[in-house]
Amino acid sequence: MTKKVKQILISYSKKNPLFKKMLRNTLFILGRIKYLLYFLINKTDEKLIIFESFMGGQYSDSPKYIYLEMLKNKKYKDYIFVWAFINPLDYKYLLNNKNTIIIKYKSEKYYQAYSKAKYWFTNSRLNESIIKKENQVYIQCWHGTPLKRLGFDIKVEGGNSMNSVNEIRKKYKGDAKRYNYMISPSKYCTQKFISAFNLENNKIILETGYPRNDFLINYKNSDVKNVRKKLNIPNNKKIILYAPTWRDNQHKSGLGYTYKTEVDFDYLKEKIGKDYIVLFRAHYFIANSFDFDKYNGFIYDVSKYDDINDLYIISDILITDYSSAFFDYTNLKRSMIFYMYDFEEYKNKLRDFYFDLDELPGPIVYNEKDLVNEINNIEKSNKKYIKTYEKFNEKYNYLDDGQASKRVIEKIIGENT
C-alpha cells in the first residue's frame, strides 16, 4: 500500500466510522494470515530474545536497560538479542555488541523473529497480528507511571481523534491478554495498570521498579559531560528540559498526531535567554517537525534524541505538563514546573487525571508570565516543595535503587530456564 493510498484511506475513515471499522478489520485479517505462516512453521528458540521500544522508534526505555544488563551477565553469553527499529540503519553501532541483530520494524524478519523468540520485551502495545505461543513469554514494560488516565479508565468520549473509548479499551484488552508479565514501579502503578488494562490475572504484575530508571541512579559525572558535549551545549548555560505530552485530539491525516507549541519563545528568550538554554522534547507520538532556526543557540530540538535519560541528567529544570516524565525525573531531586496552559480542556475533554494535582512536586502555571516568574525564582520554589517532593518519592519511586533490571531478568529469565 502506497503512502498516498494510505493517507486517502485514513482521511476517509475519519469521516466514516463504518468504513474505519471495515478497514481496520481487513488490515487485521491480512496481517494475521501473514503471521500465521511463521507461527505454524517456526519453533520457539529458548535463547532468542526480541526487544523493541516505542514501536521501533527508539533505542531506549526499560527494554534498553534490560538488554544492557543481560549483555554484562555471563549467564546469557549464548543468547541472541534482536532489536527492531523503524530505521535500523541508524542503529548499526549495536552490531558491535555481542550476539546482537537489528531488523526493520514490521518487516518479514520482524514477524519471523516474533514467531521464534522465547522472550518479547516491549514498552508499548504490540501489533495485533502477532500471536503468542504458550511457551513464549511476553513482558510488557510500559513507558511510564501515569498521571493521565489510560485505557479502560478513560471516561471522556470524543477526546481522541482516531479512536472511540470502546476502540481504545479493545486495544488495551487485546494486548493485555497476551501478557505473561507486566513491569510495575510501585503499588500505585500496579493498581492503575490492573484497571487501565482490565487485567484478569493480577499475578502477572511484577513490582520491581522501572529498569529504565536504573541509569538515573547509577549515572556518573562523565555521562553528563559526554551528553553536553554531544549536544554542543555551552558550559556557562543552565539547562531547561521542556517535555510536553501529546494531545489526543490533535491529528492530521497521513501524518499522525501533531503538536502545536503553546509557548511564546520570543518572550522566553528575552526573559531567561541570558542564563538558560531550552531543550525541546516532543512526545514520541508527535509526527510533525518544528522550526526553531530563529532561536539558534537558545532552543535545541531534541525530539529525535533516543534516550530521554541523557536529557534528564544534564537538565537543571524540567518543565512538563501531564507527561509521565516527571515521575522519573524526581529520582534526580531537581526542580520541576508544570505548565498546564490547557488544563480545563485536558481534564474535562481529553483524559482527566488519576490523583489530585496537589501531590505534584512543583508549581503549576497556566501562562508564560507565571512560567518565567517560577524559573527566575526557582530556588525559592525548591524550598517550598521539599516535603512534597519527599512524600512523592516515597509513594511513587521507592523501588528505584538502580537494580530493577537485575530483578526483572532474575525473575523472568531465571524462572523460565
pLDDT of residue 82: 98
Verify that 368 and 312 share a domain, yes or no: yes
Verify that 194 and 295 share a domain, yes or no: no
Verify that 337 and 358 share a domain, yes or no: yes
Give the helix, strand, coil percentages of the chain, each rounded to 5.
45, 15, 35
Backbone angles phi, psi at 87, to 5 degrees: -120, 75
Verify that 108 and 239 share a domain, yes or no: no
- Asked whether residue 3 is assigned to any structural domain, the reply reads no
pLDDT of residue 259: 43
Which 3 state secondary structure label does DSSP give 22?
helix
- Asked whether residue 16 is assigned to any structural domain, the reply reads yes
Q: What is the C-alpha to C-alpha distance for residues 259 and 286, in angstroms, rounded to an integer?
A: 6
Largest Cα–Cα distance of the chain, in whole Å? 64
Verify that 256 and 206 share a domain, yes or no: no
Number of domains in the chain: 2
- Asked whether residue 7 is assigned to any structural domain, the reply reads no
Asked if 196 and 152 count as a contact pair (C-beta separation under 8 A), the reply is yes
pLDDT of residue 341: 86
pLDDT of residue 202: 86
Q: Domain with 372 in it: what CATH number?
A: 3.40.50.12580
Q: Walk along the chain (417 residues) and give the pLDDT tens digit of each residue.
A: 555 555 555 565 555 666 666 766 677 677 778 899 899 999 999 999 999 999 999 999 999 999 999 999 999 999 999 999 999 999 999 999 999 999 999 999 999 999 999 999 999 999 889 999 999 999 999 999 999 899 899 887 554 445 677 888 888 998 999 999 999 999 999 999 999 999 988 899 999 999 999 999 999 999 999 999 999 999 899 999 999 885 554 434 444 434 456 678 889 899 999 999 999 988 654 444 557 788 899 999 998 899 999 999 999 999 999 889 999 999 999 999 999 988 888 888 877 899 989 999 999 999 999 999 999 999 988 889 999 999 999 999 999 999 999 999 999 997 666
- Asked whether residue 1 is assigned to any structural domain, the reply reads no
Verify that 192 and 240 share a domain, yes or no: no
Q: Sheet of 335-339: strands edge to edge? A: 299-301, 276-280, 238-243, 317-320, 335-339, 364-365
Which residue bears the cell 530508571?
Answer: 213
Query: Which 8-state DSSP code applies to residue 252?
Result: E
Verify that 226 and 131 share a domain, yes or no: no
Rg over alpha carbons for the chain, rounded to the nearest Å, is: 22
Asked if 378 and 363 count as a contact pair (C-beta separation under 8 A), the reply is no
Q: Which three cell numbers stand for residue 50?
A: 526480541
Verify that 208 and 320 share a domain, yes or no: no
Which residue bears the cell 524478519?
Answer: 109
- Asked whether residue 322 is assigned to any structural domain, the reply reads yes
Verify that 124 and 227 share a domain, yes or no: no
What is the domain extent for residue 142?
Answer: 12-214+402-415
Asked if 290 and 303 count as a contact pair (C-beta separation under 8 A), the reply is yes
Return the bridge partners of 182, or none: 140, 205
Verify that 280 and 137 share a domain, yes or no: no
Q: What is the C-alpha to C-alpha distance for residues 302 and 325, in angstroms, rounded to an integer?
A: 15
Q: Domain with 30 in it: what CATH number?
A: 3.40.50.11820
Query: For residue 198, which of 169, 178, 219, 221 has the smallest C-alpha distance?
Result: 169
Q: What is the C-alpha to C-alpha distance for residues 342 and 356, in angstroms, rounded to an integer?
A: 17
- Asked whether residue 6 is assigned to any structural domain, the reply reads no
Q: What is the C-alpha to C-alpha distance for residues 415 and 410, in angstroms, rounded to an integer?
A: 7
- Asked whether residue 80 is assigned to any structural domain, the reply reads yes
Verify that 109 and 232 share a domain, yes or no: no
Q: What is the C-alpha to C-alpha distance for residues 216 and 394, in angstroms, rounded to an integer?
A: 16
Q: What is the C-alpha to C-alpha distance for residues 282 and 289, in angstroms, rounded to an integer?
A: 9
Verify that 309 and 280 share a domain, yes or no: yes
- Asked whether residue 365 is assigned to any structural domain, the reply reads yes
